[in-house]
Amino acid sequence: MRGSLKFALSALAAGTVGLASVTAAIDGSIGGISESLGQWRIGPLAGAAGADPYTRAHFTAQDRLPPNSFEVQEYETAVDSDGRSLDSSCTYRLAGHMPPTRWWSVWAMASGLNPDQQPVGVTSNDVVYDAEGQVLIAFSPTPLTGQWIRLSDYGGFSVIMRLYNPAVNFRRNAKQEPLPVLARVSC
């Protein structure tokens, strides 16, 4: 009887630790599946035949097919410019020059293993640039003037920025190029 109880407790603890550690590894919280560029993370091997299991799991856990990193540079962040986790009840602003690319999209997506949440976002076709050629995109649960991406009741969320067919020079020096900054405005 005591043996059965110990086995049950052991299995429960093992399941909890195993799933928690795998979730953290897939999410990029631990381990080295991605490279950090400021607040942004990029998975250089995403989609490649040589991609490690954690990188593959990172995408498939969100029900996504990984992009070919040569064709699409995908940047993802789950934190603001001060390193705080993104919270859908807050307001954020993405500001700066977009990298040189033929076409881009930016969207918000629920974090964690939630493939049911549909992404909402903007693309280079419908964004308005300011006089200096910068973008100013607000993420907020309530409407704001200007370019606005509505945040649903995600709780935690990520912002994804996809650059399609980026300029060759940018791709070669991606780690040195400035990226837009996502900062918290209010909470």
Partner 1 sequence: MSGRVFWVAATILLAIVVHLTYVLFAPGDSVQRKLQAMRTLAGVNSLKVLSANDSRTFLAGEGPGLVHAICLYDLGKGEVKAEAPIPHGYWSLSIYTSHGTNVYTLNDRQAQVDSLSLVLRKANPLRETENPVGVDSTLEKIFIDLTEPTGLIVMRAVLPDEPARRRVEEELARARCEPA
Contact status: 79 vs partner 1 (CB under 8 A): no
Contact status: 54 vs partner 1 (CB under 8 A): yes
Name the minimum Å distance from CB 41 to partner 1.
15
First to last CA, the chain: 52
Name the minimum Å distance from CB 64 to partner 1.
3
Between strands 135-140 and 147-150, the pairing is parallel
Q: Which is nearer to partner 1, 84 or 103 (CB)?
A: 103
CB neighbourhood size of 18 (10 A): 10
Per-residue tokens: 40: 């942004």
For 118, list phi and psi in degrees, rounded to 5: -80, 140
Among 96, 119, 141, 155, binds partner 1 (CB under 8 A): 119
Give just the sign of the alpha carbon dihedral 185, 78, 42, 28: positive
Enumerate binding residues for partner 1 (CB under 8 A): 6, 10-11, 13-15, 17-19, 21-22, 25-26, 47-49, 51, 53-54, 56-57, 59-68, 70-71, 102-103, 105-107, 109, 115, 118-123, 125-126, 160, 162, 164-165
